[in-house]
Amino acid sequence: MKLQLRFPASAENAVDHAQLAVEAAWEEGGVDLDYSPGSLELADAQIEAMREEGLTGEDVAEALFVLGCYLGEVMARALGGRWVPTARSPLADVSPWPMVVVLRNGSAWDAIGKAYKRLELGDSEYLPAFLGLAARSLSSG
């Protein structure tokens, strides 16, 4: 899949990609993505709307990428994580995406991949639940 991204797909640019999701949500539907955990409901609803329209990951690749970065940035801010190159994370041999979020306990989370899975698989990949799972990993580990 060839993405047409405004910024290079790197950990250093993840916040810029997330901000594109914020701007697009506001411009296209008056949706206020404010980086709060609660705003993941709105991001999830955006992906569900794409799903209901019958769009594929190829059709909306860039939108899913920036929404995945938004998810990851919410996780990083809420849970004290940071974006790192996937190759330098525990997901190096798992995720095809160039960056993931690593939390302070060392666990790595593929937020971009989660956005694509949400479109493909539906409600079982609910974005707020992904944040909840990551939060529980901090308290259990």
Q: Report if pTM > 0.85.
A: yes
Mean pLDDT of 107-129: 97
Residues in the chain, total: 141
Sequence spans of domains, the chain: 11-140
100 or 1, greater pLDDT: 100
pLDDT(67) > 80:
yes
pLDDT digits over 26-42, tens only?
998 899 999 999 999 99
Q: Are 107 and 141 in contact (CB under 8 A)?
A: yes
11-140: which CATH architecture?
A: Up-down Bundle (1.20)
